[in-house]
C-alpha cells in the first residue's frame, strides 16, 4: 500500500463509529505493515505527567509508563517536538526496549499546544527514519488527534 492508501484507511477508521481503543489498535496494525523496517510500533497516551503504553506490536517492553522528560518518548513531550534518533546506542537518555533496536522515531499526537500522546517506532536498522517517515506519521497522528477532546 502507498502512504496515501494507508492514510486514507486511517482516516476512514477515525471517521467511523469504532471506539477510540479500537481506532488506536487498528492504526498501530496499519502503521506496522507500512514499512518492513518498523520492528516495534506502539502508541503511548499522555496521562498527566506520564506516558502510558496503550498498545503495541513487537517485542514486549517493560517501559509501559514513562515520565515526561525520560527517554526518547519523554523527551518528545518535554520538548514538544518529534524525535528522530539515528543511533540509539549514542544516547544517554534512552530506555531500551529490545537490545537489537538501533534507531527510533517518536511523532506526537497533538492539536496545537495540546499533546494527547505519541506514535513510537523502533527499528533494528541504524538510521532507518527520515523526513518521509516523519511526514507520513505526522499525517497519521493528526488524523488520530481528531478523536481526542
Ligand atoms: N526507547 C523509548 C522507550 C520505549 S521502547 O522503545 C518501546 C525511549 O527511550 O523513550
Tell me what pLDDT residue 43 has: 98
What's the gap in Å between 70 CA and the centre of ligand 1? 9
- Cell digits for 55? 498498545
Give the largest Cα separation in the chain, rounded: 43
Q: Is the CB of 61 under 6 A from ligand 1?
A: yes
pTM over cut 0.95: yes
What pLDDT digit, counting tens, does each position of 46-85 carry?
A: 999 999 999 999 999 999 999 999 999 999 999 999 999 9
Contact 131, 138 (CB under 8 A): no
Q: Say what percent of the chain tops pLDDT 90.
A: 98
Task: Output DSSP code: residue 18.
Answer: -
Indicate whether residue 71 lines ligand 1 (CB < 6 A).
Answer: yes
**Does residue 15 carry a pLDDT above 90?**
yes
Atom of ligand 1 nearest to the CA of 42: 7
Q: How many CB atoms lie under 10 A from the CB of residue 111?
A: 12
pLDDT for the residue numbered 149: 82
Residue 127 pLDDT class (50, 70, 90 cuts): very high
Q: Nearest residue CA, atom 7 of ligand 1?
A: 97
pLDDT at 38: 98
What pLDDT does residue 2 have?
A: 93
pLDDT, position 106: 98
Q: What is the mean pLDDT of the chain?
A: 97
Average the pLDDT over 81-102 and give the result: 96
Give residue 85's pLDDT: 98
Sequence-distant (6+) residues with CB within 8 A of 104 are 72, 83, 84, 85, 88, 120, 121, 122, 123, 129
Q: Strand order of the sheet with strand 40-47?
A: 65-67, 50-57, 40-47, 114-123, 103-111, 83-85
Residue 78: predicted pLDDT: 98
How many A from CA of 4 to the centre of ligand 1? Answer: 27
Nearest-atom number in ligand 1 for the CA of 40 is: 7
CB of 120 shorter than 6 A to ligand 1: yes
Q: Ligand 1 atom 2: the closest Cα is on which residue?
A: 95
Amino acid at each position: 500500500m502507498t502512504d496515501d492508501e494507508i492514510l486514507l484507511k486511517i482516516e476512514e477508521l477515525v471517521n467511523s463509529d469504532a471506539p477510540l481503543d479500537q481506532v488506536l489498535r487498528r492504526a498501530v496494525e496499519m502503521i506496522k505493515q507500512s514499512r518492513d523496517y518498523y520492528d516495534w510500533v506502539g502508541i503511548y497516551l499522555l496521562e498527566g505527567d506520564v506516558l502510558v503504553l496503550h498498545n503495541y506490536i513487537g517485542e514486549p517492553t517493560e517501559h509501559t509508563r514513562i515520565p515526561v522528560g525520560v527517554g526518547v518518548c519523554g523527551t518528545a513531550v518535554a520538548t514538544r517536538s518529534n524525535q528522530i534518533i539515528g543511533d540509539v546506542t549514542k544516547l544517554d537518555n534512552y530506555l531500551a526496549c529490545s537490545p537489537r533496536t538501533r534507531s527510533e522515531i517518536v511523532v506526537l499526537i497533538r492539536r496545537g499546544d495540546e499533546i494527547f500522546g505519541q506514535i513510537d517506532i523502533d527499528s533494528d536498522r541504524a538510521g532507518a527514519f527520515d523526513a518521509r517517515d516523519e511526514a507520513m506519521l505526522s499525517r497519521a497522528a493528526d488524523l488520530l488527534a481528531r478523536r481526542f477532546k
